[in-house]
């Protein structure tokens, strides 16, 4: 059983934009959420929740995701914040 602790997020729109960008990067290289999860050694549900902006993921998770996508951590954060 997985248990999730929900932390009050101050900027939900940032998490959603981050997740959308992560999804774009993943699809750009043509891999599924399952493949990304396997490469990063994290759960598929975690990848899904990050992409939907449901969780404020850790910096260490961002690092393993960037390695799994074969891009820099900086690249993951290169997205437009304004609407």
The pLDDT of residue 8 is above 80: no
Per-residue pLDDT tens digits for 17-58: 999 999 999 999 999 999 999 999 999 999 999 999 999 999
Is 4 inside any structural domain? no
Is 68 inside any structural domain? yes
User: pLDDT at position 79, please?
Assistant: 86
Cβ-based neighbour number of residue 12 at 10 Å: 12
The domain in which residue 47 lies consists of: 12-76
User: pLDDT at position 81, please?
Assistant: 77
User: pLDDT at position 40, please?
Assistant: 98
Total domains, the chain: 1
User: pLDDT at position 56, please?
Assistant: 94
Is 2 inside any structural domain? no
Question: What pLDDT band is residue 63 in, cutting at 50, 70 and 90?
Answer: very high
Measured between its terminal Cα atoms, the distance across the chain in Å is: 38
């Amino acid at each position: 059983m997985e248990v999730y602790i929900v932390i009050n997020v101050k900027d939900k729109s940032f998490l959603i934009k981050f997740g959308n960008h992560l999804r774009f990067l993943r699809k750009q290289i043509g891999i599924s959420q399952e493949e990304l999860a396997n490469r990063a050694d994290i759960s598929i549900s975690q990848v899904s929740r990050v992409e939907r902006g449901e969780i404020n993921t850790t910096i260490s998770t961002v690092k393993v995701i960037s390695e799994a996508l074969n891009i820099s951590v900086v690249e993951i954060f290169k997205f437009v914040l304004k609407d």
